[in-house]
């Protein structure tokens, strides 16, 4: 099987065929000689050839076995290129991107159907990354750079915005691909921050606060928060009052700073509740 087999819709195979766009993506990614690069879904290698020339280490994760095998043959004489024939949603990214002084650049034209899931997986390894240059469907890209209080603003905006400075590079028209998708795409740059944009307490709590706040877009913030797991232990009226946030608001109107205030309060409250519970348990155990 060769790299020219018919593209698979199930794997989101819309291959870049526009040399001008390919060059612009490579310029935007700004890979310096010798840097470490991860490409997710190299496909037929439109970006890969350029990345292999510049990088000191190139990791390719491709789920299409035939394409992965094809890349292995292409790069068998290039020991700095490693091909991983796997689903990017199943691999252990922490193990693949070891914590070395040299951080990783991620470049990818992501398959649309899994782009949000991939973003969350990359979010969990943000401290291993130097930069990400990603092609996403425009609608997903718009969400990531949306300000509060607009319909595009959501969970991905807030969670990724905590650890990345995200900016839009340029829009890509469907004609630049084979086969052409029905929608526009966009190239975004993600620069990982050395410090989070806001102090959130426990990050797992932060994620729970944000996810529950957006869980029912038409409901009030108070009703949304009540659906969260932490609401079994925490009174949400007390939470909102302590944080001076009006419970009748919608989750999408909250800024990242307001989410962080809620998250810090919940973190602290849960700490106190669990400390008390542990002390009581120890007491019962001792007596």
Site residues (vs ligand SAM, CB under 6 A): 11-16, 40-44, 46-47, 61-64, 67, 87-89, 109, 111, 114
Q: Which of 207, 197, 201, 214 is nearest to 256 (CA)?
A: 197
Least separation, in Å, of the C-beta of 6 and ligand SAM? 12
Residue 16, C-beta contacts closer than 8 angstroms, at least 6 positions apart: 22, 25, 43, 46, 47, 109, 176, 177
CB closer to ligand SAM, 61 vs 210: 61
Angle at which helix 203-213 crosses helix 155-163, to 10 degrees, equals 150
Q: Which of 114, 138, 117, 110 is nearest to 14 (CA)?
A: 110
Edge-to-edge order in the sheet of strand 57-62: 81-85, 57-62, 36-40, 104-109, 129-137, 185-192, 164-172
Least separation, in Å, of the C-beta of 188 and ligand SAM? 15
Q: Which residue has the CB atom at the shortest distance from ligand SAM?
A: 41
Least separation, in Å, of the C-beta of 265 and ligand SAM? 38
Measured CA to CA, the distance from residue 166 to residue 57 in angstroms comes to: 25
Least separation, in Å, of the C-beta of 115 and ligand SAM? 9
CB closer to ligand SAM, 13 vs 55: 13
**C-beta neighbour count of 201 within 10 angstroms:** 20
CB closer to ligand SAM, 63 vs 265: 63
CB closer to ligand SAM, 114 vs 208: 114
CB closer to ligand SAM, 137 vs 157: 137
Least separation, in Å, of the C-beta of 100 and ligand SAM? 23
Least separation, in Å, of the C-beta of 86 and ligand SAM? 7
Buried b vs exposed e over 154-175: b needs ≥16 C-beta within 10 Å?
A: bbbbbbbbbbbebeebeebeee
Least separation, in Å, of the C-beta of 91 and ligand SAM? 8
Q: What are the Cα distances from residue 188, in Å, to 1, 35, 68, 83, 89?
A: 33, 20, 26, 25, 21
**C-beta neighbour count of 6 within 10 angstroms:** 7
Measured CA to CA, the distance from residue 38 to residue 55 in angstroms comes to: 10
Q: What are the Cα distances from residue 95, in Å, to 60, 98, 247?
A: 14, 6, 42
CB closer to ligand SAM, 114 vs 221: 114
Q: Which two tokens stand for residue 161?
A: 């915005």
CB closer to ligand SAM, 12 vs 201: 12
Least separation, in Å, of the C-beta of 166 and ligand SAM? 20
């Amino acid at each position: 099987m060769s790299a020219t087999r018919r593209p698979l819709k199930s794997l989101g195979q819309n291959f870049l065929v526009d040399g001008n766009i390919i060059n612009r993506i490579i310029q935007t990614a700004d890979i310096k000689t010798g840097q470490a690069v991860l490409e997710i879904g190299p496909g037929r290698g439109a970006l890969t050839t350029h990345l292999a020339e510049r990088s000191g280490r190139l990791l390719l994760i491709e789920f299409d076995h035939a394409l992965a095998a094809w890349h292995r043959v292409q790069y068998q004489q290039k020991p700095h290129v490693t091909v991983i024939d796997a689903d990017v949603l199943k691999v252990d990214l922490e193990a693949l991107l070891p914590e070395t002084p040299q951080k990783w650049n991620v470049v990818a034209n992501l398959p649309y159907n899994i782009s949000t899931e991939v973003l969350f997986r990359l979010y969990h390894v943000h401290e291993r990354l130097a930069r990400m240059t990603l092609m996403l469907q425009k609608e997903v890209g718009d969400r990531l750079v949306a300000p509060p209080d607009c319909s595009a603003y959501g969970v991905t905006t807030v969670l990724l915005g905590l650890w990345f400075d995200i900016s839009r590079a340029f829009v890509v028209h469907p004609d630049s691909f084979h086969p052409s998708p029905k929608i526009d795409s966009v190239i975004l740059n993600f620069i990982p921050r050395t410090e989070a944009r806001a102090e959130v307490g426990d990050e797992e709590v932060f994620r729970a606060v944000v996810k529950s706040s957006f869980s029912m877009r038409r409901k009030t913030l108070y009703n949304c928060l009540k659906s969260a797991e932490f609401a079994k232990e925490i009174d949400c009226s007390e939470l909102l009052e302590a944080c001076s946030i009006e419970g009748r608001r919608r989750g999408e109107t909250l800024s990242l700073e307001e989410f962080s205030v809620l998250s810090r309060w919940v973190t602290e409250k849960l700490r106190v509740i669990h400390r008390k519970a542990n002390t009581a348990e120890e007491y019962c155990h001792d007596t």
